[in-house]
Amino acid sequence: MIRRAATYALIAAFSFATTPSFACTGISLNAKDGAMIRGRTMEFGFPLSSNVIVIPAGTAMNGTLPDGKKGIGYITRYAMAGANAVGQTVILDGLNDQGLSFGLFYFPGFAEYPDVTADNAAHAMAPFEFGAWVLGNFATVDELKAGLADGVVVNTLAPGFGSIPSHYFVRDKTGKSIVIEPLGGTLKVFDAPLGVVTNAPAYDWHLTNLRNYVNLSVTGVPPLDLDGLKLSQLGQGAGMHGLPGDFTPPSRFIRAVAFTQAELPSATADDAVLSAFHILNRFDIPRGSVRDKTDGGLELTQWTT
């Protein structure tokens, strides 16, 4: 009963926060010394009170069905550490001892979860339980792809509250990255070679939208002569004119790609971490900059990792 009440408390925290919602941004950088860096911001309209937790290898874990009963049961093969929410044993963003990293990102309006059936109940878990399952059972992206069918993410919720639409970014120590999205009742995998993720819509839409910004360049624009009137750029950065600056997921995705692709290679892991934080600072939401029109709720950056 205590476990069920705690699960409902977590669902309530997520559900109250859906307006406004997650506006998280994830990026990846590689260092010359071989280090693979992944970073993200966490935006939320409800205090998550996140802490870093450690789940050892050999820990017994269970998924939760919409009716509160147990779903999938497993013993973690790998130890993991990551950020939780409201004191619960869940991983919103974390890393296991094999170098596999995981991040949960909000995915409103597009997540389509399957119904629980007699056939899938023993494999089912809540959206917020998916991170621990991934990090506890897999060492690489390829392993996860091969074993993904063993897990089912279902629309677990508490009475009176909504669902938790989410998609997931996973990267391993080789730099291979994927985005996993619940679409049409199944988990669909997209390769993510650019190592960037935001929120809705579906990941392949974001990749297509990049084609609207192929004109962007880190180099300046040469002077222009219009019938003898010579015009030159007013300052450096004109090559990025048209880079979207708002906080919507499509705009943040474009900025994240632009900044990570423009970033000069770092020599070491420590240097790459500093570079990642500098980039992620460009996605911080100051208090009051994003508000809900109906209830005045605020969305702001709670933490960056």
The C-alpha atoms of residue 71 and residue 125 are separated, in whole angstroms, by 6
pLDDT at 21: 55
CA atoms in the 13 A half-sphere facing the CB of 168: 31
How far, in whole angstroms, is CA 250 from its chain's centroid? 14
Does residue 221 belong to any structural domain of this protein? Answer: no
Which CATH number belongs to the domain containing residue 193 in this structure?
A: 3.60.60.10
Tell me the pTM: 0.90
Q: Is residue 230 part of a domain?
A: no
- pLDDT tens for the 305 residues of the chain, in order: 333 333 333 433 333 333 445 689 999 999 999 999 999 999 977 778 899 999 999 999 999 999 999 999 999 999 999 999 888 899 999 999 999 999 999 999 999 999 999 999 999 999 999 999 999 999 999 999 999 999 999 999 633 345 789 999 999 999 999 999 999 999 999 999 999 999 999 999 999 999 999 999 999 999 999 999 999 999 999 999 999 999 999 999 999 999 999 999 999 999 999 999 999 999 998 888 888 877 767 888 999 99
Query: How would you label 121-134 residue by residue, b for 16+ Cβ within 10 Å and e otherwise?
Result: bebbbbbbbbbbbb
Q: Which domain holds residue 180?
A: 2-213+244-290
| Runs of H (alpha helix) within 17-140 | 130-137
What are 110's two structure tokens?
């597009």
Place of tokens 């624009």: 221
Q: Are 29 and 263 in contact (CB under 8 A)?
A: yes
Is 235 a member of any domain? no
Q: Is 234 contained in some domain? A: no
The verdict on residue 227 lying in a domain is no
- Of the residues 11, 17, 23, 24, only one is catalytic, namely 24
Q: Which residue has the tokens 């994927």?
A: 178
Computed on alpha carbons and rounded to an integer, the radius of gyration of the chain in Å comes to: 21
Judged by phi (left if over 0) then psi (alpha if -120 to 50, else beta), residue 49 lies in left
Task: Evaluate whether residue 31 is within a structural domain.
Answer: yes
Asked if residues 266 and 32 have their Cβ atoms less than 8 Å apart, the reply is yes
Active site residue 24: yes
Helix (H, G, I), strand (E, B) or coil at 238: helix
Q: What are phi and psi of 298, to 5 degrees?
A: -105, 145
What is the C-alpha to C-alpha distance for residues 154 and 147, in angstroms, rounded to an integer? 17
Does residue 226 sit within a domain? Answer: no
pLDDT of residue 162: 54
Q: How many domains does the chain have?
A: 1
Instruction: Give domain status of residue 264, yes or no.
Output: yes
Tokens, residue 146: 């091969």
